[in-house]
Amino acid sequence: MESLYGMAYRLRCPMPMNEIERMVWEMNRWRQFSLRFGFPPIWWVDILLIDTAFREIIEIYQIDISIWRFHRRAAQDESGHQISLLLYTNDGCFTAVKDALQNHWSVKILQREGFLKEFLPQEELGAEIEATSDRNWPSPLQRAWPFYIMGSCVMFLSLIRELTDTSFIPSEKSEIDELRKHYEEINDRLRAVWQSQGSHAFFHHLNAVFGYEPLVAQPRQIAGFLASF
Phi/psi of residue 194, nearest 5 degrees? -60, -45
The reported pLDDT for the residue numbered 218 is 74
The reported pLDDT for the residue numbered 215 is 84
Domain ranges of the chain: 2-132
Cα–Cα distance between 88 and 96 in angstroms, integer?
14
Q: Tell me the average confidence (pLDDT) per consecutive run of 10 residues in the chain, 229 residues long.
A: 48 59 79 96 98 97 93 94 97 97 98 97 94 96 95 96 94 97 98 95 94 81 50
The reported pLDDT for the residue numbered 216 is 81
The reported pLDDT for the residue numbered 18 is 67
What angle is formed at CA 99 by the lines to CA 97 and CA 100, rounded to 5 degrees?
60
DSSP assignment of 89-108 = E-HHHHHHHHHHHHTSHHHH
Q: What is the CATH number of domain 2-132?
A: 3.30.70.260
* Residue 4: CA count within 13 A, CB half-sphere: 14
**Contact between residue 183 and residue 51 where contact means Cβ atoms under 8 Å apart:** yes
**Positions of E strands within 81-147:** 81-89, 118-122
